[in-house]
Amino acid sequence: MRPAERDVHPRRLQRLPGRERGSPRPRWAGPSSCRATPRTHPRRRAARLRGARELQAARRAHRACYRSRPCSRSIGGPYAPPGSALERCLRAARRDSARRAVANPPLTLSLIIPAYNQRERSIRAAATAMDFLQARFGERAELIMVDDGSVRGKALEPGDVPAPVTLIRHSQNLGKGGALRSGVARARGEYAVLTDSDLPFSLEPLPTTLDWLREGADIVIGDRCHPESMAAIEVTASRRLSSVVYTWAVNRLLALDYPDIQCGYKGYRAAAAKDLFGRLEVTSFAFEAEILVRAHKAGYRVRCQPLRLMHDEDSSVRLSRHAPRMLGDVMRIAWRARRGCYDR
C-alpha cells in the first residue's frame, strides 16, 4: 500500500474520488457490523419507546390482578377488571365458544369413503351408509365422501348425495391414499372408519370397532382371513391369490406380521389417523403399507377384526397396471424404513 493510502480507513477506500494508475483496486468495504446503519427519526424512536413502556405497564397491571386474586387461574380462567376491554373480549370469546359448541356438537364417528369414476355405485353407497349411521348413531356420526378427480360424467356432484353428507372433490387424481388423507383431515369425529366405495363389507361390525377403539386399541384393521370372517359370495381365486401374495411380500420386506394388509375396512382413533395420514407420502394403493409401518414404529396398538363380505364387485385395482407400481412403492417404503425415515 502506498504511503498516501496508509492512513486512510479501509471503509473509505471506495469513497476516494479516484486512484492513480497502477494502484491496487479497493475491494474491501469493511464487515457488515462496521457499515453505517440508517438513522431512525427521533419521533419514531420516541413512539417505539412509549409503546414499549405502555406494554410493560399493562403486563405489570395484569400480574397485579392475578396476585390480588389467587384463585382466578382455576376458576373462570384469566381475571379481568370489571368494565375493562379485556373483560369484554373474554366475554365475547366465551359467547362464541358456546355458540360453536351448540352449532357443532361433538361427533363420535366419521365414516370416510373414497370414490374414483364410480358415480352410480358411490350414490348407492352414500344412501346406504347414511341410513345406517342415522339409525345407529343419529346426529353423532358424519359421512364424508371423497371424489378423487373422477372424469366428467363419472364424478360425484353435490346433488348426488344427501344433504348431511360432506363431499370433497379433487381436481386431479391423487390416489386412494390421497383421497383418504383429505377425508381424515376434514373428519370431526372422535373415531374415523374407512371403507371402500362399493361397501363390500357389512357395516354391522361398526359398533364393535368403536368398542375396541374405546377399550385401548389405536387401530382396528379388517381381516378377511380371520376364522370368524364370513363371505356371502365366492371370491375368485385370482383375487384371493393376489391378496395373499401382496400381504406376504409386504410382511417380508417391512418386517411386519399382519394377516391382511390390503383390506379396505379400517378404524382409527382420530388422533392416530390424523398423525399417520398427515405424514403420508405414498398415496397409491400401497399407502396402507406405509401407514402400518408408521404405526408399528410409533407403537400404536393394532387389533384385527373379522368381517362379513357382502359382495365382490369389479375392483379398481388392475394387476397388470397397478402391480408394478405397488411393488415399487413397497420397495421404496422398505428402503426408507431401513434408513430410519419413519422413526420418531
Q: What is the CATH number of the domain that holds 273?
A: 3.90.550.10
pLDDT, tens digit (0-9, with 9 covering 90-100), for 198-250: 888 889 999 999 999 999 999 999 998 888 888 766 777 777 888 888 889 89
How many structural domains is the chain composed of?
1
- Is 195 a domain residue? yes
Query: Per DSSP, what are the bridge partners of residue 219?
Result: 268, 302
Instruction: Tell me what pLDDT residue 48 has.
Output: 79
Q: Residue 99: pLDDT band by 50, 70, 90 thresholds?
A: low
CB-side neighbour CA atoms (13 Å) of 272: 24
Backbone φ and ψ for 308, nearest 5 degrees, come out as -125, 115
Name the residue type at position 171: S
Write out the residue range of the structural domain in which residue 279 sits: 105-339
- Is 124 a domain residue? yes
Name the residue type at position 253: L
Instruction: Tell me what pLDDT residue 218 has.
Output: 95
pLDDT, tens digit (0-9, with 9 covering 90-100), for 45-98: 777 788 788 777 777 766 665 454 443 333 344 555 666 666 666 666 666 665
Contact 261, 285 (CB under 8 A): no
- Is 80 a domain residue? no
3-state helix, strand, coil in the chain (%, to 5): 45, 15, 40
Check whether 152 has a pLDDT greater than 80: yes
pTM of the predicted structure, to 2 decimals: 0.68
Instruction: Among 14-23, 107-116, 258-267, name the one with the lowest average pLDDT.
Output: 14-23
Instruction: Tell me what pLDDT residue 287 has.
Output: 92
- Is 76 a domain residue? no
Contact 177, 273 (CB under 8 A): no
pLDDT, tens digit (0-9, with 9 covering 90-100), for 171-199: 888 889 999 999 999 999 999 999 998 88
- Is 48 a domain residue? no
- Is 33 a domain residue? no
Question: Other C-beta atoms within 10 Å of 216: how many?
Answer: 9
Instruction: Tell me what pLDDT residue 74 has.
Output: 34
Cα 9 to Cα 173: distance, rounded to the nearest angstrom: 65
What percent of the chain shows pLDDT beyond 90?
Answer: 33
- Is 38 a domain residue? no
Q: At 104, list the grid cell.
A: 357443532
Instruction: Among 134-143, 222-231, 256-265, name the one with the lowest average pLDDT.
Output: 222-231
